[in-house]
Amino acid sequence: MTETDGSISEFDRLFGWPDVCRSLFRVLITSIREGFFITDGQGAFLYVSPSLGMMLDHDPGQLLRMSIDDIDPGKGFKDASRAMGAEGYGVSTYETTLKRRGGEPVDAEVTLARYNVPAEGQRCVGLVRHIGDRKRAETALRESEERFKLFSHASQEALVLLNDAGKVLYANPAALKITGREDRRVSDMEIGEFLRPYQFSDEQKLEMAITEVMPVSTIAEEMVGSDRVLDLSIMGAEGVETSIELCLLSEKVGDKWHMIALFRDVTEKKNALERLRKSEEKFRRLFEDTKDAVFMSTPEGKIVDINKAGLELFGFRNKEEMVELDVAQDLYCNPEDRASFRAAIETYGSASMHDLALKRKDGTVIVVSITVNAVYDEVGNVVIFHGIIRDLTGIRQLEQQVRAFQKIDAVRELIGDMAHHFNNILNIIVGNAQLAKISPDCTEEVGSYLSAIEEEVFRAADMVDALLTSGSRHPMDMKTVDVGSVVRDFEKMVRRIIGDGITIVLSVPSTPIPAKIDVARIAQAFLNLVVNAREAMDGAGTLTIRVYAEDMTDVTTTLDGKIMPGSYAVISVADSGRGMERSLTEKIFEPFYTTDTSGEKKGLGLSVVLGIVKQHGGFVICDSEEGKGATFKIYLPISEEKTKAQRLMEQGIGGGTETVLIGEDEDALRKIAADFLKTLGYRVIAARNGEEALALFREVSGEIDIALMDIAMPGMNGLDVYHEIRKMRPDIDVLFMTGYSLDAANISTIREQGISIIRKPFTMIALARRIREILDKEKAIPTGV
């Protein structure tokens, strides 16, 4: 704008400003962003600033040929002029919409000042501000407020806006309703007063939360946007307890802090969660406490969850071990069973299999019944299997036992009938053989034949007795004895049965293991196992016989039943023979079942063993693998009664496990001494005279620990036997028995040599003590002395 456009000259003409003022005015007008104009009393432009021309897209020269009505078609200018009065003075501001050259609207704020010019009349000076951005911001704010109002009014949650002093700025209808303040007079109300209708279960917790979230002017900037959520129980005005979730959010608006409090009634939600928790707890308790195995697995064969009974069934300590398994490979005996089982489930939605063979962690095979159902997703794909596994192993074993016992009962009846008739026949045979032997015409050769017939007849009678014993229901001769002594007593017989090609390893403890048994029947069962072991080794190998005590702390399932917890005396017979497949160990105790392929054996041996042991309340365990031999164990309940040996030991009469050779020609004394020493645990070899004693010593000299000899025996006396056995065993201990005076010449000579003598009559207790003293004294002598 220059002075040549006439506007400044007009201004100078009107006001007569000096040059300095005019220059300052020019700088001001061209520098400000607001538009500036001067009109006459009718609104015709007398002056227009360049900025107003730019705002309206007009050249200032063009605007000078226009009036205010051309750019402001509304009534704003006229109303503002009228409001300033007729005197022509005053200032008025109004908002209007101006029109650009192309007709586009421009939101503007116009400030007018009127004044009079002498002889010229009224003039208007106007300042125009472009307020489009402000209008848009105001519109956006208004719309935002409307949306907030709509949201807060429609919300079912109570919403309260607080200022930095903790006073209420706004509360939505839900907040007013929940606090009973529907009169809406809540502005500037303290939050504590606003919540007064409620009694909170934890006022201190609420106060601390508000204090943390509602910082004062000293709050750190990092607290911006922080929020807290509190679970509170409130007691309403009507005394009804309600669970609420209180969310507190703080925000900084300008330089002031505000807090929004949201109240949410979560009573029904909490009740639903509690019902869900109880339902889950009930399900989990049912899941964990059921005696059957309950599981969930993926279609691919991975365990997802399994209960305690399932862990016990498969022998695992925890679920973590089982989730790593491949079910088909690690639990199924035949992995193909799992594949066919899965196909059936995916086809029909569920499946059940009975007598399915699975395996435990230790490889033990178990028989189970399994029922499985499939769970599908929304498109029909199987996502999970869940099912129940019931252990049928014990039931199937019991069924096998019942069948076996039924067979045994049938055999008992058959044996009973046959034995009666068979013994009659044997009686006739042996009677005729004996009559033939006393016939005058019987030669020595014929007599030997008849004696052989008698011997075989009695062997046959013994076999019949054995069969009758195994199935007998007659009372047994039960005595509390040391099981180890029973086995030791039959050592010699075992060695004769086994033969020279088989090595015998015998392990019997020195401490008595008492059991109440029929000695003859248990010995028969034991010898039956020995015979079976011999046949399994084909004349060569090692037979290991052990006697020991075993405490069973858990129920153990065996082929013939369950061993209940308790203390047992165990007789173990192990051979190094050919062994057998594990599947055969389930059948070998059945009557008439035999692993012999020659056809000579009838398979009654082990059924007899089982029958005898069962009568004693015991059990039999067989452990065998093909090519690794077999071990049979007889379990007999340990008796709480004490054996004779234990009672004697309590009286200070010591026993032992050593071998004693007795040489005594008096039958009654020999039998009493032998029985008494056996009772104390000793192994006894008895001879009727000196010659027999020497012969027995030569046979088993290495096994004899002490010789008990009567000095005066017909034929070879005790001294003669002593001298002979000393030649074979210089270290042998001897205790002489004599009825003569200890001062007799021959007796004194013996005593002078330091040989022990006991004088008849003596008590059995005195005899036992002397034998124990001699044996213990020998053990106390240091090696090399």
Q: Which tens digits make up the pLDDT trace of 578-598?
A: 888 776 766 677 665 566 555
pLDDT: which is higher, 749 or 273: 273
Q: Mind listing the pLDDT tens digit for each residue in 325-337?
A: 888 888 888 888 8
Residue appearing with tokens 């705002």 = 55
Is the pLDDT at 145 greater than 60? The verdict is yes
DSSP code for 232: E
Q: What is the pLDDT of residue 86?
A: 58
Helix axes 718-728, 690-699, angle to 10 degrees: 20
Buried b (16+ CB within 10 A) or exposed e, 349-387: eebeeeebebeeeeeeebbbbbebebeeeeeeeeeebeb
Whether residue 693 is predicted with pLDDT greater than 50 in this model: the reply is: yes
pLDDT of residue 68: 87
Q: At CB < 8 A and 24+ separation, what contacts does 111-120 make?
A: 112/77, 112/80, 112/81, 112/84, 114/81, 114/84, 114/88, 114/89, 114/90, 115/88, 115/89, 116/88, 116/89, 117/14, 120/14
Q: Which residue would you say has higher pLDDT here, 427 or 400?
A: 427
Three-state SS at 622: strand
Is residue 625 predicted with pLDDT exceeding 60?
Answer: yes
Least confident of 117-126, 238-247, 418-427, 520-529: 238-247
Q: How far apart (Å, rounded) are the C-alpha atoms in residues 239 and 378?
A: 46
Instruction: Classify 240 as helix, strand or coil.
Output: coil
- Report the predicted TM-score, pTM, of the whole model to 2 decimal places: 0.38
Q: Three-state DSSP class for 594?
A: coil
Range of lowest pLDDT (107-111, 665-669, 748-752): 748-752
Which among 353, 340, 345 is positioned nearest to 385, based on CA atoms? 345
Q: Give me the long-range contacts of 260-264 (CB less than 8 A, separation at least 24).
A: 260/159, 260/160, 260/161, 260/162, 261/158, 261/159, 261/160, 261/161, 261/162, 261/191, 262/157, 262/158, 262/159, 263/157, 263/158, 263/159, 263/160, 263/174, 263/175, 263/178, 264/157, 264/158
Asked whether the predicted pLDDT for residue 574 surpasses 90, the reply is yes
Q: Confidence band (pLDDT; 50, 70, 90) for 216?
A: very low
In 3D space, the residue among 270, 268, 234, 264 whose CA is nearest the CA of residue 248 turns out to be: 264
Q: Which amino acid is at 691?
A: E
**Band of the pLDDT at 636, cuts 50, 70, 90?**
very high
> Degrees (nearest 5) of the Cα angle 587, 592, 597?
85
Predicted confidence band of residue 545 (pLDDT cuts 50, 70, 90): very high
pLDDT digits (tens, 9 = 90+) for 347-365: 888 887 767 888 888 888 8
Spatial CA neighbour of 706 closest among 727, 725, 690: 725
Q: What is the mean pLDDT of residues 678-689?
A: 86
The confidence score (pLDDT) of residue 89 equals 63
pLDDT at position 195 is: 64
The pLDDT tens digits for 475-528 are 667 888 889 888 887 887 788 778 778 899 999 987 888 888 888 888 888 888
pLDDT bracket for residue 560 (50, 70, 90): low
pLDDT of the residue at 547: 94
Q: Render pLDDT for 593-616 as a digit per residue (tens, 0 to 9).
A: 566 555 444 445 677 788 888 888
Distance (Å, rounded) from C-alpha 41 to C-alpha 121?
7
Question: Is the model's pLDDT at 30 over the cut of 50?
Answer: yes
Q: How confident is the model at residue 631 (pLDDT cuts 50, 70, 90)?
A: very high
Res. 684: pLDDT tops 80: yes
| Percent of the chain whose predicted confidence (pLDDT) is above 90 | 6
* Separation of alpha carbons 232 and 444, rounded Å: 117
pLDDT confidence of 468, banded at 50, 70, 90?
Answer: low
**Residue 546 in this model has a pLDDT that exceeds 90:** yes
Q: Is 239 left (phi over 0), alpha (psi -120 to 50) or beta?
A: left
Q: What is the pLDDT of residue 217?
A: 35
Indicate whether 47 pLDDT > 90. no
Q: What is the pLDDT of residues 288-341, one digit of tens each?
A: 777 888 888 888 888 888 888 888 888 898 888 888 888 888 888 888 888 887
What is the average pLDDT value for the chain, to the nearest integer?
Answer: 77
d(CA 33, CA 53): 11
pLDDT interval class at 223 (50, 70, 90): very low
Q: Extract the tokens encoding 241.
A: 């307890």
Give the residue, 57 or 556, on which the prediction is more confident: 57
Asked whether the predicted pLDDT for residue 569 surpasses 70, the reply is yes
Q: How far apart are CA 99 and CA 93, in angstroms?
A: 18
Using 50, 70 and 90 to split pLDDT, how confident is the model at 572?
A: very high
The string of pLDDT tens digits covering residues 53-72 is 888 888 888 888 888 888 88
Which pLDDT score, from 0 to 100, does residue 635 have? 92
**What pLDDT does residue 746 have?**
58
Q: How much is the pLDDT for 783?
A: 37
The pLDDT score that the predictor gives to residue 454 is: 81
| Res 415: pLDDT | 66
